[in-house]
Amino acid sequence: MKSLVFKMKYLSCCIGAVGLMSSYSVSAANLTTLNKKIENYKTVTHKRLVEAAPEDWLLPKGNYEGWMYSKLKEINSKNVSKLTPVWTYSTNLDSGHEAPAQINNGVMFVSTPYNNVIALNAKTGQLYWRYKHDNPYDLSVMHNTSRGVALWGDKVYVAGLDGTLNALDAATGERLCQSQIGDWSIGAYITSAPTPVKGKILVGPSGGEYGVRGFLEAMDAETCETAWKTYSVPGPGEAGHETWKKEGKRPDAWKYGGGSMWMPGNYDADEDILYWGVGNGSPWLGDQRPGDNLYVASSIAMDPDTGKIKGHYQYHYNDSWDWAAMNAPMLIDGLKDGKKKVKGLVSPQRNGYMYWLERDGKGKIEYLEGKPFVANNAFKSLDPKTGRPTYDYDHVPVTGKRVSYCPSLWGGKNWPYESYNPDTGMMYVPANDNICNSFKGKFQDDVEPASGQFWAGIDIPDLDVYLADQSKGVGQMQAWDVNKREKVWQHDYGKTMNWGPVLSTAGNIVFSAGTNDRMLRAFDAKTGEVLWEFPLNSTAIAPPVAYEVDGKQYIAITAGYGVDPHWTNGVLAAKDKSGEWIADVPEGGVIWVFALPDA
Amino acid sequence: MKEQNNNKHDDIEQTACCGCAQPNQNKGTDFKRRNLLKYLALAIPAVNYFTGNLALAAIKKKSPESMLPPQVGDRFTYFSKRLQGPLIKISDLIELDKQVLVVPVDPKTGEVRDGSRYNQILIQKLSMVSLSQDTQALSVDGIVAYSAICTHAGCPVTAWVEEEENYMCPCHQSVFDPKDGGGVVSGPAPRKLPALALTTENDELVVAAEFNSWIGFGKPPR
């Protein structure tokens, strides 16, 4: 006993010492090019984030509810045909640009691949400053993108691909402090936009293809010290650990079981509860980690002060398809059974099903209904009370056997944000149907999990991606009535995937890009009619946003094709025999800003 | 689920890996952190064992020698921690088996040069007659060695396309031909994989020369 006590004391001492090192101040002036200091920067407060004033776009999804919606309506379905570019700004980088422009009182912040942050005058496009993150020289990551920044107080927070979370002076771009969140060398790099909540900055790393155990970490916004950290896969003694059965060749699968929390979450400010998405299992093959595998492929409710998990809903158990549930569900109060209004959660999931859930205000999440929005051949049905799927095991990937399934591993909808418009009562979903894949599961023992090597349990050359029906296209925009739970309209993009996050506005418009023809489109939100389209320099896979400066409304989107959208487009174009699939989509990041001509 | 202090050790490994690999302005801070690491090196694996973080359990201090690129005369051992130790011999390799991920070893000190990710190397035994003339000149007994670091975005090129006898990067599917000097067959990679000339001594594979090109992606180092 004495020995154990001694050991624990020793460990505690060490752990404490390590904790002291988790954040540090740095002198990083040479990382930032300062063109012009931002004067009178408007402090971002909890109140401002909750209120989400329409002239700003402070959060990556516009508001804490995750709606991707703007109340602005100067640009509307009657005049959008006159929309025209007013300024552009080259990021001077290629690859996938996936960050929204984020606007605070006329100042725009855009993060880029390899973690530059560019601060611009949102009205003129003139540079204030540019921060270039000092990623390690031998950095390697699967996705070199960045999905946005967090704005809090007088600082801008950006995560690095090297697993750091960095606090910048909003006025000058100078880095003030940073925290090490993930270890990129094992595969725990960060692409997510951090989320600011009540003085903490929350972010989680990627790693679901590398055998990394997922987690979300909260950093104190002032000191860059760790406030809390919560693993998405419960350890011994924690609720849910029993869903990782100690069976088979890997009885300790929970240690490297994936569940990355690699996208920003949503927040119920009234009830003070976070809602976050949890990614796929690692490796992809569920038979290598028996059990339901909580909280993989789930949405979880968390206490923002402590990180404690208060509730969860798992969309499908023992994930075997790479159908990550990384996007947090939108917070929408809607009708239950067509009558009673309840606090709800709505989420179009990568598994191809749309989910309506109920939140009780204390963290408990209950199933209301699920409906497929694209073809899914792996689920026979959903239990009407719980939503738990019944599987068709001919389409559940396993080790040692080639299995095909639809939708593909990229899902019926990947990370690009859907939008909810309270004016139309509709949800707008960037969907991909008619795309499937097959592979033979592999027990990968030539390298260890969490060693920085691809560890998904498949050989990439063995992955076959194909269209279920060669005559049909893939990418779609779907509009669903949230209360009726029915699809209202659908636009088919044809021979392209759709990787475009969606913005809807009070002007009865839905904006989205993401297709291989480089178009940014404006749809009539009620009817789906295409009202306007404009060819960008490259395909935009970043969220479009709306903001206002000096009483004038602008629409901003960053074009820049890359990462998975680029690769999947190449694969599908190479297989296409119709001649309709555009193979050559140029790269190159450009921030585009549109407005109506002055009267 | 809340994990307070016992998770802070994540930062240790990050420092151990990135502090040394990040020649930036944080030298003072990193120096202090590395010193502290020395004293924690024994305790941390135990902590990680309890918390289930395998990668952290494998942590070790990295010396400057471990970060040197492959030196002439270096041997090789496996990258896999489970297999690491034995020096790789010509007789260990079977023709047309999948490429093996290895790291260099200083034969005098036994130091494994795995301190930089840029030291990850692919070796493979191919049919001598299938090799181009230039590739034959770099190989020994049909065995070739290339940098594992993809010239597109830096991922390890660990997938094997058996039918075409090519390498594929799992990140963005660049394909390289090991029979032809690591040249690009398809995909976004802009240039071939750097090759390492080999020789042999007592059946052990030996580095005969430096890489024939710079390691990494993007712009060449200045």
Contact A446 B101 (CB under 8 A): yes
Sign of the dihedral through C-alpha A375, A381, A385, A386: negative
Task: Identify whether the C-beta of residue A92 lies closer than 8 Å to the C-beta of residue A114.
Answer: no
* Range A252-276 average pLDDT: 98
Tens-digit pLDDT profile for residues A18-41? 333 345 444 455 899 999 999 999
A473 Cβ contact list (under 8 Å, min separation 6): A434, A492, A493, A494, A495, A496
Tens-digit pLDDT profile for residues A464-479? 999 999 999 999 999 9
Question: Which residues in chain A have their CB less than 8 angstroms from residue B8's CB?
Answer: 15-16, 18-19, 21-22, 226
* A94 pLDDT above the threshold of 60: yes
- Comparing CB atoms, the residue among B4, B5, B18 nearest residue A136 is B18
Bridge-partner residues for A314, per DSSP? A298
Tens-digit pLDDT profile for residues A490-524? 999 999 999 999 999 999 999 999 999 999 999 99
* B66 pLDDT above the threshold of 60: yes
Residue A84: count of CB within 10 angstroms of its CB: 9
Question: Which residues in chain A have their CB less than 8 angstroms from residue B81's CB?
Answer: 448, 451
Chain A contact present for B156, CB below 8 A: yes
Tell me the shortest Cα–Cα distance from A502 to chain B, in angstroms.
26
pLDDT for the residue numbered B218: 84
Of the listed A94, A169, A322, A564, which one is catalytic?
A322
Q: Return phi, psi of residue B118, to 5°.
A: -70, -5
Residue A341: count of CB within 10 angstroms of its CB: 10
- Comparing CB atoms, the residue among B1, B101, B118 nearest residue A308 is B1
Task: Identify whether the C-beta of residue A128 lies closer than 8 Å to the C-beta of residue A104.
Answer: no
Q: Is A393 exposed, middle or buried (0-12, 13-18, 19+ CB in 10 A)?
A: exposed
Confidence of residue B78 (pLDDT cuts 50, 70, 90): very high
Confidence of residue B222 (pLDDT cuts 50, 70, 90): confident
Task: Identify whether the C-beta of residue A89 lies closer than 8 Å to the C-beta of residue A101.
Answer: no
How far, in Å, CA of B50 to CA of B44, rounded? 10
Burial B19-43 (b: 16+ CB within 10 A, else e): bbbbebbbeebbeebeebbeebeeb
Rounded to the nearest integer, the mean pLDDT of chain A is 94
Question: Which residues in chain B have their CB less than 8 angstroms from residue A26's CB?
Answer: 25-26, 29
* Range A373-385 average pLDDT: 98
Residue A407: count of CB within 10 angstroms of its CB: 30
